[in-house]
Structure 1
Amino acid sequence: MTHLEVKHVYKSFEDKPVIQDLSFSLQKGEFVSILGPSGSGKSTLFHLIGGIIVPDSGEIVLDGKNITGQKGHVSFMPQHPSLLPWRNLLDNVLLGQELTGKREVEKARSMLAAAGLEGHEKSYPHQLSGGMQQRASFLRALISPQSLMCLDEPFSALDEFMRLEMQKWLMSIWEQYRRTVLFITHNIEEALFLSDRILIFSERPARMLADISVPFSRPRQPSLFLESEFFDWKRNIYEILRGEKTTGF
């Protein structure tokens, strides 16, 4: 069943187009990444899907229902953890559920333990490392009742080693729960390592340059980064982003 459909979406600000006739779909349980230049409209697309802004034309459909301009249908993880400083870790993770009137405390505790955060339930954000805050932010999105997760460059502020650890952790959690994920990144290696498919956007106004199915089997290991086939795919995607080729896969 098609989970999310973006149909011929057009959006402009002050008569300047940001997204140009964009269409794509996600299947339930897919992990799909969006790659594109800075300022190409990727975050604007998330705001459209989340109902924060409304497209000039086109529609957003989730599970067969038109949700264009409607809030509350997706869970969202921004670039920075955005944990509320006055709430402890457990209460931060439960925030999405609270907004819908439901608190599954034991489930949240179990997920915190699986994420290596057991014993920190009563800690406040300033007492946690950056990686711990990112894990809590992801769990908050994961435990929220919405079936679609939109992750906006969640690891961009982390150093290379922490980023890899978070990627591995994200994969282990996602393979367990198989939520539908739409993931924004500027990192080609990250997109190849995490995704089932990669959508490549043009410079603003954003339009689809390529929709690529990633061939690597799961579960994936960091050794994948060193394989020649991985380098070939990275080079091809880079050339598409540079406008030097179309697909060629």
Structure 2
Amino acid sequence: MGIKLSIENMTKSFDNNKVLEDLSFQVHEGEFVSIVGPSGSGKSTLFHLIGGLYTPDSGEIQMDGKRINGQRGSISYTPQSPSLLPWRTVLDNVLLGGEIIGKKSEIEALQMIERAGLKGYEQAYPNELSGGMKQRVSFIRSLLSPQSLICLDEPFSALDEFTRLEMQNWLLSIWEQDKRSILLVTHNIEEALYLSDRIIVLSDKPAKIKKEFTIPFPRPRLESIVLSEEFLQWKKKIYNEIRSY
């Protein structure tokens, strides 16, 4: 697999408060990578740097071998809340990414909406949707955006447990067909284990990479795996790594 995203020796501070220190990792083509760590360890700051909202103090961010420090528009980003535009319908919301660059495909959007179980809601507005439905629309918007790396910032955190698992299964089913590179930030170890090929554990601030785990569970993932003894052992291993400062 080729390298999609490469972070090399990246450091970032705010007002002499060092948030990230000498951070280096890679995400490969078609790989699903999760980042976990203590609260306040700079996980969201990392996304802002990759997305070009911040510029690193030192180090380099490369996408497909090209330096993108401080450049916006290189990633597709799904935030914690769906952030749908309330005056746009479901269809118009999912077409937004392509519309911005002048390449929108209504046929593909309608197909994706149907695959998401939202057929019949194309002309509905966000205030007519449940939380899970809004998050599906937000995902479709990311998937229809032209960027080849999708960054997910705790997208399931506001959902109840059963809706969250349903959304995780839906995301995996869509991703298995699309196989774009995904970088997920989450506080939920089970979520990271269930979804990921690889998990990166950050230390407390200033955040460094403490450990990387390659997850051995085969794909497609079966929901029953979360109840297995092997899954529990992996959860303990990652939990202990996060808790050991």
Q: Which residue of 2 aligns with 1:8?
A: 9
| TM-score, structure 1 normalization | 0.97
For structure 2, the residue ranges without an aligned partner over 5 or more in a row are none
Shift, 1:173, TM fit: 0.5
Q: Which residue of 2 aligns with 1:78?
A: 79
* 1:115-134 matched pairs, under 5 angstroms: 115-134=116-135
Separation in 1, partners of 2:206, 2:192: 22
Q: Which residue of 2 aligns with 1:198?
A: 199
Tell me, yes or no, if structure 1 residue 145 matches structure 2 residue 172.
no
> Which residue identity is paired with 1:160?
E
| TM-score, structure 2 normalization | 0.99
SS of the residue corresponding to residue 39 of structure 2 reads coil
Tell me the number of residue pairs that the alignment of Structure 1 and Structure 2 aligns. Answer: 244
Shift, 1:37, TM fit: 1.0
> Which residue identity is paired with 2:54?
I
Separation in 2, partners of 1:70, 1:184: 21
Tell me, yes or no, if structure 1 residue 236 matches structure 2 residue 237.
yes
> Which residue identity is paired with 2:228?
E
Shift, 1:102, TM fit: 1.1
Percent identity, aligned pairs only?
59
Separation in 2, partners of 1:103, 1:25: 30
Deviations 1:86-131 (A, max 9, x none): 0000000010111111110000000000000111010000001110
Q: Which residue of 2 aligns with 1:39?
A: 40
SS of the residue corresponding to residue 72 of structure 1 reads coil
For structure 1, the residue ranges without an aligned partner over 5 or more in a row are 245-249
Shift, 1:209, TM fit: 0.6
Separation in 1, partners of 2:209, 2:188: 18
Separation in 2, partners of 1:16, 1:184: 22
Deviations 1:58-101 (A, max 9, x none): 01000010011000010000000000000000000010111111
Separation in 2, partners of 1:143, 1:38: 31
Q: Which residue of 1 aligns with 2:93?
A: 92
Shift, 1:204, TM fit: 1.1
Shift, 1:41, TM fit: 0.3
* 1:61-72 matched pairs, under 5 angstroms: 61-72=62-73
- Indicate the RMSD between aligned Cα atoms, in angstroms: 0.7
